[in-house]
Amino acid sequence: MENYQIQQEINIDFSTPDVPPRVYAKQYDNNMRIIKANLYANGQPYTVQSGFEVNVRMAKPDGTYVYNPALEISDTYVLIVLTQQMLAVAGECPAEIEVVQGGNVLSTATFVICVARDTVPEDAIESTDEFKTIQEILDEVEAASKIVTDNLDAINAVSENIEAIKDAPQQAQAAANSAKLAESWAVGGTGSREDEDTDNAKYYAQIAQQIAQGGVGWYETPEALRAAHPTGQAGNWAIVGSTDTIWVWDVDGNDWKDTHGNINLSDYYTKTEADSRFAKVSESVPTVTASKEQNYFDIELPSTNQFVIVPDTTFAEGDTFRIAGRPVAAMLPSGESLPDAFFAANAKVMCLWADTTLYFVGGGGGGTVPSNVMRYRLDDGTPAQPPAPINADTLQGHNAEYFATAAGLEALAAQAVMPYKAGDSYSFSSFDTGGFITGNARNGYFHIPLWKPVIASAVSVTGSCRIRQGGKYLFGTSDDKADISSLKVESLIKEGYIYFKLTKEDGFTDAINNDACAIDLDATITFGEAT
């Protein structure tokens, strides 16, 4: 059976975030591609213990999911078979491998399964959620192997009759002509038909790769670029040697346009890197410890770029931060430094890690916190503080009147923070925070912190905003904010914040894809129940 599968090998780590490995497959393939995933923890080979289960989780671009067991588990690697449902939808599918022991789960970093679109769509294959058992996968692989075996039998049957074919000159010539024509349609270069070097599978595959990756290469002059590529697609770009600048395909002008930028592309994230660092929103936000040594907080290495720290000491102005021993800058989303007593010991503090910078999007404890950073507090605006301990036996030297009455405690409870529930809403204005543009400059991703717990299951955001990037207004103007109802608005409730996505189907004008941006938001947030 193993002789018939196409095997791709990747290295995946449980602890160290890195550029996600990419696996390539073709839409609608079924049980004929296997991934060999070598497992590591902090760069060292990871051994799967006896009795542990290994599964693969994957999200498809259409919103359906796959949760299947591994085909085979070895000491330091596992085999994952790509089922028809895993390859039912073309596009990039984020996936991860988990090791399960009882109720304990350990997940790897994300890898990407790139599903190339099939040239002849099979509309009859509907994409659905898939949750298989290992026996189901083995049965399907065996069935696929039987089909291959049957085909091999047919090939062998043809091979056994080669001599008979040679004895029939006309049939042999027809077979040769068919083989030559097949080669012409596959790769060209046979001289058997017109335009075969630009009308074959190899040529179309190269064009598809160029379009998918955007870059079309380096050319000495603009004339050479136009001669090689008289037409282009949105997102295509090239390097021109005579100008030492980047040229992009202008869809409106139907021509190549000089950006006049000689940018060092090594300073920019690729789409994969940007998605890995900023776009991935995990099912839950992990919590990591932060221990203060001298004047710095040492934070353990998190598994995602969004996480919550629990410091053991109250923050003092001038304190610095390190992640896994590496110094990082710490600031608010506005770029301001953290104020004194920004968070208290043992408080939960929401963070966003972007390479060398740690952004604090939610504080906890005392201190004066800017309006664009929210925290848990009482309804009257005062920070919520735990009561001082009381010695009920000695009354701490005070008479009974010193202590709260039952009526007084009930009045205090009435001021306590109540969670947001379905039907609740609140409004704010001039909320400034950072985000990023991705998805071919169509999508803007942002976070809106919450200052109270939420027991609702759905949320909607309405209002207006302006989005700026690189000195330009991508949405709205310097004088007016634009209504976000003209965009596709998506929002999800997360632990301590709202995941907020704005989509402009025709793309944000003059936006730089996979680059940071800022938003100034006036909005009303309304909570409800999922339908």
Query: What pLDDT, on the 0 to 100 scale, is given for residue 474?
Result: 95
Over its C-alpha atoms, the chain yields an Rg (Å, rounded) of: 30
Query: Residue 223 class from Cβ within 10 Å (0-12 exposed, 13-18 middle, 19+ buried)?
Result: exposed
Partners of residue 248 on adjacent β-strands:
237, 257
Query: Residue 478 class from Cβ within 10 Å (0-12 exposed, 13-18 middle, 19+ buried)?
Result: exposed
DSSP state of 377: B
- Structure tokens that stand for 189 in this block: 């270069």
Pairwise CA distance, residues 522 & 464, whole Å:
5
Query: What pLDDT, on the 0 to 100 scale, is given for residue 95?
Result: 92
Crossing angle, helix 201-213 and helix 169-186, to 10 degrees?
10
| Helix, strand, coil share (%) of the chain residues, nearest 5 | 20, 35, 45
User: CA geometry: angle at 144 spanning 87 and 119, to 5°?
Assistant: 40
Instruction: State pTM to two decimals.
Output: 0.29
Assigned CATH for 2-140 = 2.60.40.3350
DSSP state of 530: -
The answer to whether 304 and 492 have CB atoms below 8 angstroms apart is no
Contacts of 215 (CB under 8 A, 6+ apart): 236, 237, 238
Query: Residue 360 class from Cβ within 10 Å (0-12 exposed, 13-18 middle, 19+ buried)?
Result: buried
Name residues of the chain where pLDDT drops below 50: 1-2, 211, 265-269, 278-283, 366-394
The answer to whether 37 and 76 have CB atoms below 8 angstroms apart is no
Pairwise CA distance, residues 238 & 215, whole Å:
6
Query: Residue 124 class from Cβ within 10 Å (0-12 exposed, 13-18 middle, 19+ buried)?
Result: exposed
Pairwise CA distance, residues 15 & 17, whole Å:
7
Residue 377, amino acid: R
Instruction: Go through 130-159 and write b for each residue having 16 or more CB atoms within 10 A of its CB, e for each that does not.
Output: bebebeebbebbeebbeeeeeeeeeeeeee
SS3 of 263-291:
CCHHHCCCHHHHHHHHHCCCCCCCEEEEE
SS3 of 284-323:
CCCEEEEEEECCEEEECCCCCCEEEEEECCCCCCCCEEEE
Query: Residue 126 class from Cβ within 10 Å (0-12 exposed, 13-18 middle, 19+ buried)?
Result: exposed
Pairwise CA distance, residues 352 & 494, whole Å:
14
The SS3 assignment for 204 reads helix
The answer to whether 262 and 273 have CB atoms below 8 angstroms apart is no
Dmax (CA) for the chain in angstroms is 118
The answer to whether 516 and 434 have CB atoms below 8 angstroms apart is yes
So where are the chain's domains? 2-140, 214-267, 277-416, 425-528
SS3 of 330-355:
EECCCCCCCCCCCECCCCCEEEEEEC
Summarize pLDDT for 195-218 with one digit per residue, the tens: 888 777 676 656 555 545 567 778
What fold, for 425-528? Elongation Factor Tu (Ef-tu); domain 3 (2.40.30)
The SS3 assignment for 196 reads coil
The answer to whether 125 and 31 have CB atoms below 8 angstroms apart is no
Residue 489, amino acid: V
